[in-house]
Amino acid sequence: MNEKYERLLDYLSQADGWVTAAELSDRLGVTTRSVRSYVTAAKTASHPHETIQSGVLGYRVDRDALAAFRAEGRSSEPETPRDRIYQLVRLLGNAPDGLDARSLAAGLFVSDSTLEQDLRKVKLLVESEDLSLVRRVNHVSLVGSEANHRRLLSRMFREESAQGFLELERVQREFESENLGGFKTELIEMLDAHGYFVNEYGVNNVLLHLMIALERQDRDQAGDAPLVAGGPRIAEIASALSGLVVKHFSVSLSTTDLDYLAVLLTTRVVTPGHDQPTDEVVENYVDADVLATVREIVALVQQEYLIDLADEEFMVRLSLHVRNLVARAHDNAYSANPLTRSMKTSYPMTYELSVYIASQLQRRAGIHINDDEIAFIALHVGSYLERRQRRGDRLRCAVVCPNYYDMHEMLTERIQRALGDELDVAIVITRTDVDWAELDADLVLTTIASRAPRENEVVIQPFLTDGDIENVRRAISRVRRHARRMQIKDDLLLYFDEALFFRELHASSEVEMIETLGRRMVDQGVIERSYVDGAVERELMSSTAFTDSIAVPHAMAMTASRTSIAIVINDSAMAWGENRVNVIAFIAFAATGRTSFQEVFDQFVEVFSDREDVQRIIKRAVDFPSFIEELVHIMDK
């Protein structure tokens, strides 16, 4: 129940307004009756905070109340079976000689039979980290290496944290440490002074390992983990860490612990070469073999997707990241990334390029790369593409401001200061008799309203206000979105075929659905069997559910005879990865479609990212003609 109502709270917190019980039941894969039970459970668990509001329109979350509830954290007593199991692990881990089972049951306020059930679950949990639960009559003990024990504690704590992202306040609260915030500040300052880029998303995870090390050392259980090859960087960071730990916690950690924390920092948190020229970074820090591999992969990206990533600085920075990524993968210690979901939803093409890069790295290095690590690659790719974006992407803008002294000049200057990165002020009209139909501009900003306002017109004040700026930004987004959709609408519609449109086509799993749609496309002569295998391989690497509503399975090789989309629309959602989707679009790309791949992929996901639009399609697209009609309507908005 705890996990279910947490999922319910997460979904409501991401919604803009009211959400119906039917939609929640679809998202969670349960009945509306169960939804009501979860709402009741969530309200009870968060009392006295009113985290969920109920009404005739459904449910919505009170974000302030939810934040207050989560900020308070859990009570010291275990509230759920999972909490109790995790507390059992900590109790047994802190007792090297073991504990009496009856005393454990009494301390946890559960019956002997409940404890026995919990211990069976604990056994499965600890064995996943190569630990053993040893039972001798009523005596229970946890046996295994200190390194594995710490890894288990870290994993449990991460799994309890919202979306796998560790919050500093929660680590402080769990380990009752008031000094951790100050330690983190000085740690980042130290790393910056030593010339490192710092990945803030990984710092708190290392701080968790630090607190586990401090707690375990207090019980004479210092780390015994075998250390990978160190080097001057490890020694340098370990030495600096030692002083900071003594200063903030009045404890001296063992050399093994300090070296291990330094290794964690160098593989999860820091990248060398801050404020250094690229050639010096290559000479001092980059592994030549890794850089050569990155160059090969970048060449393949250009070949497969016609996207140029062959920038020396980008490839060098990515090589530094890849070196750390490979080290993490070999240690099965991946970094959590709270941006994974938003990267997949908001930048599907960037994420897709990153999946391709990750797939090439997997084959070459013999490792597994998970979604969070793919999202970190996507941050590298996305930031580079964003920096490379040309000023030509700015919208052409006309400003209408009737002449009164130099008011139009002041207005234009303010617009350029506030919005110059997005707008190119190409036309300035200072008359009242404006020929609105002849204005050759993507966006018109005017201090006087026209008689028949058009979609690209925004009325602003002569002295530009913050509200005006926000209105203009919204209009820029709307104009760009419409322009993108119009650019590819006709092409996108060509990719659909009535023979590949399905209503209420269900499957027991993602792979079965891919196989089913793949067979239909093979029968239509669109693809060969190898494309279906490639789509399954791509799906197993990272879920193609890019939004809460749609999955877009596809292969990474563009081997289709023609670009085509098989589409499934179901009233009831099916599980797809961690999501539940109503729409499945199996896309087969042809080599001749490389130039349009990015536009088609991004646009298709964007069209199906709006919850209301998807619900409209689900309800109204009863057959192929009505589907095309609804799709055109959405894209013309």
- CATH code of residue 381: 1.10.1790.10
Whether 330 shows a pLDDT value over 70: the answer reads yes
Mode of pairing for the β-strands spanning 139-143 and 99-100:
antiparallel
- Residue recorded with tokens 């019956």: 111
Q: Are residues 121 and 187 in the same domain?
A: no
Q: What is the structure's pLDDT at 72? A: 65
Please state, in angstroms and rounded to a whole number, the distance separating the CA atoms of residues 148 and 146. 5
Q: Are residues 551 and 625 in the same domain?
A: yes
CATH of the domain at 16: 1.10.10.10
Among 256, 272, 288, identify where a domain stops.
272
Structure tokens at 216: 């375990």
Identify the CA nearest to 9 among candidates 92, 65, 71: 65
Q: Write the pLDDT tens digit of every residue in 270-306.
A: 888 877 888 888 988 889 999 999 999 999 999 888 8
Q: What is the structure's pLDDT at 220? A: 54
Q: Are residues 256 and 348 in the same domain?
A: no
What is the average pLDDT score of the chain?
85
Q: Where does the pLDDT of residue 637 fall: very low under 50, low under 70, confident under 90, or very high at 90 and above?
A: low
Please state, in angstroms and rounded to a whole number, the distance separating the CA atoms of residues 7 and 262. 35
Please state, in angstroms and rounded to a whole number, the distance separating the CA atoms of residues 306 and 353. 11
CATH of the domain at 607: 3.40.930.10
Structure tokens at 405: 């002294």
Mode of pairing for the β-strands spanning 132-136 and 52-55:
unpaired
446 belongs to a structural domain:
yes
Q: Are residues 64 and 123 in the same domain?
A: no
CATH of the domain at 411: 3.40.50.2300
Cβ neighbours for 479, distance < 8 A, ≥ 6 positions apart: 395, 442, 443, 455, 456
Mean pLDDT of 341-366: 91
Please state, in angstroms and rounded to a whole number, the distance separating the CA atoms of residues 194 and 102. 53
Q: What is the structure's pLDDT at 13? A: 80
Bridge partners, 567 (sequence order): 501, 585
Q: Are residues 569 and 442 in the same domain?
A: no
The domain of 10 spans 2-71
What residue type is assigned to position 596 of the chain? S
19 belongs to a structural domain:
yes
Among 442, 476, 510, identify where a domain stops.
476
Q: Write the pLDDT tens digit of every residue in 97-106.
A: 889 888 888 8
For residues 559 and 80, the model is more confident at: 559
What residue type is assigned to position 148 of the chain? N
Mean pLDDT of 329-337: 81
Q: Are residues 252 and 214 in the same domain?
A: yes
Report phi then psi at 345, rounded to 5.
-75, -45
Whether 77 shows a pLDDT value over 70: the answer reads no
- Residue recorded with tokens 């710490």: 150
For residues 155 and 260, the model is more confident at: 260
Q: Are residues 499 and 631 in the same domain?
A: yes
513 belongs to a structural domain:
yes
Q: Write the pLDDT tens digit of every residue in 416-445.
A: 999 888 888 999 999 888 888 888 899 999
340 belongs to a structural domain:
yes
Whether 43 shows a pLDDT value over 90: the answer reads no
Please state, in angstroms and rounded to a whole number, the distance separating the CA atoms of residues 259 and 223. 10
Q: In what order do the strands lie in the sheet with 132-136?
A: 99-100, 139-143, 132-136
Q: Where does the pLDDT of residue 148 fall: very low under 50, low under 70, confident under 90, or very high at 90 and above?
A: confident
Whether 69 shows a pLDDT value over 80: the answer reads no
Please state, in angstroms and rounded to a whole number, the distance separating the CA atoms of residues 309 and 301. 8
Please state, in angstroms and rounded to a whole number, the distance separating the CA atoms of residues 36 and 20. 11
Please state, in angstroms and rounded to a whole number, the distance separating the CA atoms of residues 230 and 16. 49
Q: What is the structure's pLDDT at 199? A: 83
Instruction: Spell out the alpha helix ranges (H) of 250-332.
Output: 255-264, 278-285, 288-305, 312-330
Q: What is the structure's pLDDT at 87? A: 83
Structure tokens at 3: 């996990």
Q: What is the structure's pLDDT at 310? A: 92
Q: Are residues 457 and 502 in the same domain?
A: no
Please state, in angstroms and rounded to a whole number, the distance separating the CA atoms of residues 459 and 454. 11
Q: What is the structure's pLDDT at 390? A: 55
Q: Are residues 134 and 84 in the same domain?
A: yes
Q: Are residues 555 and 463 in the same domain?
A: no
Please state, in angstroms and rounded to a whole number, the distance separating the CA atoms of residues 200 and 211. 18
Longest dimension (CA), the chain: 96
Q: With contact defined as beta carbons under 8 Å apart, do 354 and 375 qualify?
A: yes
Q: What is the structure's pLDDT at 391? A: 47
586 belongs to a structural domain:
yes
Structure tokens at 154: 């870290």
Q: What is the structure's pLDDT at 534? A: 95
Structure tokens at 527: 């693809």
Q: Which of 227-236, 251-260, 501-510 has the lowest mean pLDDT?
A: 227-236
Q: What is the structure's pLDDT at 507? A: 95
Report phi then psi at 9, rounded to 5.
-65, -40
Whether 316 shows a pLDDT value over 90: the answer reads yes
Report field, pTM of the whole predicted structure over 0.85: no
Q: Are residues 324 and 267 in the same domain?
A: no
Q: What is the structure's pLDDT at 554? A: 94
Q: Write the pLDDT tens digit of every residue in 391-409.
A: 457 889 999 999 887 888 8
Instruction: Spell out the alpha helix ranges (H) of 306-339.
Output: 312-330
Mean pLDDT of 38-56: 83
Q: Is residue 203 within a helix (H) or strand (E), and if so which, with residue range? A: helix 200-218
488 belongs to a structural domain:
no
Q: What is the structure's pLDDT at 295? A: 96
159 belongs to a structural domain:
no
Q: Write the pLDDT tens digit of every residue in 505-522.
A: 999 999 999 999 999 999
Range among 144-148, 159-163, 226-230, 273-277 rated most confident: 144-148
Q: Are residues 614 and 529 in the same domain?
A: yes
CATH of the domain at 206: 1.10.1790
Q: Is residue 99 within a helix (H) or strand (E), and if so which, with residue range? A: strand 99-100
Length of the chain: 637
Whether 235 shows a pLDDT value over 90: the answer reads no
Among 366, 388, 410, identify where a domain stops.
388
Q: Where does the pLDDT of residue 544 fall: very low under 50, low under 70, confident under 90, or very high at 90 and above?
A: very high
552 belongs to a structural domain:
yes
Cβ neighbours for 266, distance < 8 A, ≥ 6 positions apart: 233, 234, 237, 324
Domain total in the chain: 6
Cβ neighbours for 466, distance < 8 A, ≥ 6 positions apart: none
137: left (phi over 0), alpha (psi -120 to 50) or beta: left
